[in-house]
């Protein structure tokens, strides 16, 4: 059977597809990513989770004129496939091949080289403010994960952007996961917001009701708007994003392409900073990654049938560090571990099992983690 992907060499080709073709394309993209990462290793689960989201962004916006900034950048494989680089996939993360992160030197669609988490909103805001000064009209879109949102820099940028009034779209890709399960107060807030499915519906109803009111009924409109805000407060306790100056849209199903495109089109026509809350499943479409998103966050080459890693387990630096820390902690009950969302990557998984009360995951917050230790580190 002819593959849709064979016909898609640019975002213009994507835009021409019907919704049914796009749905098939999503599956073909997943297959390509799974095949490639099973051989070359890479960030599997994060990419499988953003297939529809990336397709929707490229269907609605016009990159490279519109600027798309991926936070952390490990989830940019779909973006690379859709922006003329699908044939380079076999070289992904190989010496001299295609990078596993956005790279401005590689493509005009990659507007910022990432890797360090929590930078996208700052970068996007800077681009949006420059656009305003230059009096040009491109859209600027930052796509940030719920893990990256726990980083101080992202919160500093939200603080600035909310008050700026500039046109900017922040898409929050909420999959409840950092590398491990996401942590912290923001994560608690998001899980409350996530369950308020009917907020969006109610918002639509109220909008329709306002539209139906006779012209000149200003007082009534004002009253209804006030009620609308109260309903929002009621449905999404503590409307954090709205209160700091963003228009909040969502939560929406990040695997429903039609709904995603629809909400992105709405955001394109709204003024000011917008936050779209998109709920996705990390590892979507590949059972081993859905079941173990942390293991498949960054995977070495693996067997597609079983999901088992093909790489021999060797004692590496992180494992040596973790083992030594356990040895020290066994002798000294005052020793604790602090990690900035990197329990597995820094060899602390075993430590966490042995001393669950003596490990603290602070989220992607390295500065904070250091000062948590006061003067001792
Ligand atoms: C400053 C910083 N600390 C730690 C990391 C390691 N790191 C890479 S991805 C990631 C989790 C990101 O989670 P999220 O933003 O939700 O993206 P997801 O992979 O879940 O889509 C972490 C902690 C990093 N890239 N930068």
Q: In this structure, what token pair is assigned to residue 209?
A: 């009701």
> What pLDDT, on a 0 to 100 scale, did the predictor assign at position 198?
47
Q: Ligand 1 centre and the CA of 183: distance in Å?
A: 12
- The average pLDDT across 154-173 equals 97
Q: Is the pLDDT of residue 288 over 60?
A: yes
- Mean pLDDT, rounded, of the chain: 91
* Residue 120 beta carbon below 6 angstroms from any ligand 1 atom: no
Worst-scoring range by mean pLDDT, 53-57, 193-197, 356-360? 193-197
* Residue 346 beta carbon below 6 angstroms from any ligand 1 atom: no
Length reported for the chain:
377
Ligand 1 atom 21: residue of nearest CA:
46
* Residue 121 beta carbon below 6 angstroms from any ligand 1 atom: no
Q: How many CB atoms lie within 10 A of CB 28?
A: 17
* Residue 364 beta carbon below 6 angstroms from any ligand 1 atom: yes
- The average pLDDT across 344-372 equals 95
Query: Is the separation of the CB atoms in 277 and 303 below 8 Å?
Result: no
* Residue 340 beta carbon below 6 angstroms from any ligand 1 atom: yes
Which ligand 1 atom is nearest residue 182's CA? 16
* Residue 339 beta carbon below 6 angstroms from any ligand 1 atom: no
Full set of structural domains in the chain with CATH: 5-196+236-291 (3.40.50.970), 317-372 (no CATH)
Please state, in angstroms and as integers, the Cα–Cα distance from residue 233 to each residue in 193, 220, 243, 293, following that order.
11, 20, 10, 33
Percent above pLDDT 90 for the chain: 82
Please state, in angstroms and as integers, the Cα–Cα distance from residue 21 to each residue in 118, 268, 361, following that order.
34, 24, 43
> What pLDDT, on a 0 to 100 scale, did the predictor assign at position 331?
98
Q: What is the pLDDT of residues 111-159, one digit of tens each?
A: 999 999 999 999 999 999 999 999 999 999 999 999 999 999 999 999 9
For ligand 1, mutation pick of 78, 178, 298 (most atoms within 8 Å of CB): 178
Which ligand 1 atom is nearest residue 116's CA? 26
Q: How many CB atoms lie within 10 A of CB 374?
A: 7
* Residue 254 beta carbon below 6 angstroms from any ligand 1 atom: no
Q: Ligand 1 centre and the CA of 74: distance in Å?
A: 8
- The average pLDDT across 259-267 equals 95
Q: What is the pLDDT of residues 75-109, one digit of tens each?
A: 999 999 999 999 999 999 999 999 999 999 999 99
Burial class (CB in 10 A: 0-12, 13-18, 19+), 228: middle
Q: Ligand 1 centre and the CA of 298: distance in Å?
A: 11
């Amino acid at each position: 059977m002819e593959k849709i992907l064979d016909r898609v060499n640019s975002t213009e080709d994507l835009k021409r597809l019907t919704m049914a073709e796009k749905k098939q394309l999503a599956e073909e993209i997943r297959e390509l990513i799974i095949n490639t990462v099973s051989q070359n290793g890479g960030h599997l689960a994060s990419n499988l989770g953003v297939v529809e989201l990336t397709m929707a962004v490229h269907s609605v916006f016009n990159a490279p004129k519109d600027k798309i900034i991926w936070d952390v950048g490990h989830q940019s494989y779909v973006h690379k496939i859709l922006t003329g680089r699908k044939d380079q996939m076999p070289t992904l993360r190989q010496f001299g091949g295609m990078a596993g992160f956005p790279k401005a030197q590689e493509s005009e669609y990659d507007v910022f080289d990432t890797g360090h988490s929590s930078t996208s909103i700052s970068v996007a805001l800077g681009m949006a403010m420059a656009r305003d000064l230059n009096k040009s009209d491109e859209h600027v879109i930052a796509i940030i994960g719920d893990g990256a949102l726990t980083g101080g820099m992202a919160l500093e940028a939200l603080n600035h952007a909310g008050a700026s009034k500039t046109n900017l779209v922040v898409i929050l890709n909420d999959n409840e996961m950092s590398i491990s399960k996401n942590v912290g107060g923001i994560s608690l807030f998001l899980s409350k917001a996530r369950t308020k499915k009917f907020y969006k519906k109610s918002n639509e109803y109220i909008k329709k009701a306002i539209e139906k009111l006779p012209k000149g009924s200003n007082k009534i409109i004002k009253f209804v708007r006030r009620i609308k805000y109260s309903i929002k407060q009621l449905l999404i306790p503590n409307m954090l994003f709205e209160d700091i100056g963003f228009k909040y849209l969502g939560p929406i199903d990040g695997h429903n392409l039609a709904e995603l495109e629809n909400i992105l089109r709405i955001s394109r026509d709204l003024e000011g900073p917008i936050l779209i809350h998109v709920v996705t499943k990390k590892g979507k479409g590949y059972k081993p990654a859905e079941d173990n998103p942390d293991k498949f966050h960054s995977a070495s080459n693996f067997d597609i049938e079983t999901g088992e890693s093909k790489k021999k387990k060797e004692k590496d630096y992180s494992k040596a560090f973790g083992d030594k820390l356990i040895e020290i902690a066994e002798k000294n009950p005052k020793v604790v571990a602090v990690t900035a969302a990197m329990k597995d990557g820094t060899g602390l998984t075993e430590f966490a099992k042995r001393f669950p009360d003596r490990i603290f995951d602070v989220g992607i917050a390295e500065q904070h983690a250091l000062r948590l230790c006061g003067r001792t580190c």
